[in-house]
Amino acid sequence: LSARRSYWGELFKAATKDEEDLNLTMAPYYWDVVARVDRDGGPGNRLFFTAFAAKDRMELIFPEEEEGSPEVNEATNSIAMDIQFSRWILGWDKALGRNLTNSLRASYGRSSESGHVFGYFDFEGSGPFWQARNNLAWAATPHLTPNLGVDWLYTPYDYNVKVEGYRSSIQA
């Protein structure tokens, strides 16, 4: 189990709180967490479960600026980007013979992104993530291991974009 969180935003604010000539505020932020459990599934079998998630945010705030249109984004004095995701992975590795192994992975998760450039441009998107992967590996020699596999990925994603001067948003 592992978890982290940033503290740079707090340090930057503390270091620049008395700076009157600085007309920019930076607000970086992130956290992430990873958990993994491995299990011996008997002779030639290894099972595992992994879960991980993260959130990142970076924002540059220009207190003296008012750019673009609040109809596109109310934060007309900043540039920002947010990304967050989560994934859950089940895995099974199976020895099929002395030189033949199979690896199967199935995963699910969600992703989302959003951001803006003053009041000129705004976007947000989100959606689920499903994936299955199978790989068969044959150790033909100590220096040659051919692999044969299949990878399936399905990610229906909704996107919304606003641009100043355009009547409607674009969704895909």
Q: What are phi and psi of 14, to 5 degrees?
A: -65, -40
Residue scoring higher pLDDT (16 or 36):
36
Average pLDDT, the chain: 89
pTM of the complete model: 0.76
- Report pLDDT digits (tens) over 18-32: 666 556 666 778 999
CA nearest 163: which of 79, 71, 76? 71
Positive/negative CA dihedral, 85, 86, 90, 95: positive
Q: What is the pLDDT of residue 106?
A: 98
Rounded distance between C-alpha atoms, residue 75 and residue 68, angstroms:
9
First to last CA, the chain: 37
Rounded distance between C-alpha atoms, residue 16 and residue 22, angstroms:
8
Q: What is the pLDDT of residue 167?
A: 72
**Is the Cβ–Cβ distance between 159 and 170 less than 8 Å?**
yes
Q: What is the pLDDT of residue 28?
A: 78
Q: Is the pLDDT of residue 14 over 90?
A: no
Q: Is the pLDDT of residue 121 over 70?
A: yes
Q: What's the angle, vertex CA 20, arms to CA 17 and CA 23, rounded to 5?
A: 90
Q: Is the pLDDT of residue 60 over 90?
A: no
Find the helix or strand (DSSP H, E) in which 113 lies.
Answer: strand 100-117
- Report pLDDT digits (tens) over 63-103: 888 898 888 888 888 899 999 999 999 999 999 999 999 99
